[in-house]
A and B are shown apart, each in its own frame.
Chain A
């Protein structure tokens, strides 16, 4: 009983981490940069979804589409303002710039959305259904399906389709890619828009299980980055797998050993795992071509 409920909880929460972590994967494989405002992008998705669906009463599909579009737009802004100016000069300052961008967004939302946490009700998170004796909300079963589905889609798109391969070519050699007729800047910008849209989607999926407030994404962002590294950031499958494992370990440690020790044990496991597998679960070492 204890274990079954831990497994169900762990897979549901873990797939949320995986979904946000896929956003780190997408920009990394295209440009070797990541957007550390991923947690804030997730929050943005949830806040916008709440605004359109609950406050303005739009139909759900329209509210979701509009929120995703605005999240993607945020990704374009992040790339243009916080990443490109630094990355093109070979500077690593985009690390700090994207962290700062996230903090700015959190505070803008704090002042516009307000200080009080709000609820984003959904019929998918009201009546629990029985799964091997443990209760789950239907939404908790949908999130892993969406997460795994997106991981598979990304893997196929990057490795089996021409536009996908073109995106991957950018990271290997920008000049060669440009000569082959690939628009490098658009490719990178697209990857950022896709990554923030994924985070926004995660935010809207999590919102009914959680409450919406301006700093809801902070801890998710950090855990998702740990998951991305653990999975080997270059593999979509690896990232999703790491997310599920992270959630499982977190829930099982809490259930079997006790919540006082959860954070200590889980993060210790991450450090050990990275020491043993420096390239993550399914990642591979980047060959340095001279």
Chain B
């Protein structure tokens, strides 16, 4: 029962973390290796708004999300646009950016146990005899809402459809009048907002630490690869698989192996089915 409940919660946390990366990489083909850095920056941003500027919690969250959207758009407009299409440079540029932000925060003294965000609602409830605090329930709720919203957005909204069109065939999409740069700006902005949203939902459960940036990046990539690029269903199922495997590993083996599960998941997927569980897009192009 323990494993079932915490497995579900962990799976939704993973889905939340990964969905921004999935949107940006799976849909727009921009490997955003600064994803983890954006996650951590949002955490510290909200903390700063709350404790230094003494803003209302809701105002602080909204402000941080808007800023994240602008930051994401700026990353594309000023950094990625210059190296677009050169896979090597895209990876190195975003990785360097993420590294600069994370290590800069570490150097700036943002470490230790002092940085925490308050939970949305105090208290806990019993599910089948196991106490679960409300914040974790909220995480699951936000997860469901975000996933549903993203699915609706990419299937029934013109902008969302345009994003998927870009992913499938950039040249054909451009011939139909879709502005490739503008779409990429939108994708980066939304991806950054989603990274920020996951940070705001998940960080009240623990401390804000710089290391989380690397972990979030790796977990997002793991979910994205195992699920198959550009497939929402795949990403959700992959989040559940990795989420439950992690909880089972922690329960029966050792908590240190938390990250190793993600690595093994990637390796096994690459060996058995490189396009991921449900990846149809670009299946043939990835394989040499």
Is this pair of chains taken from one and the same complex?
Answer: no
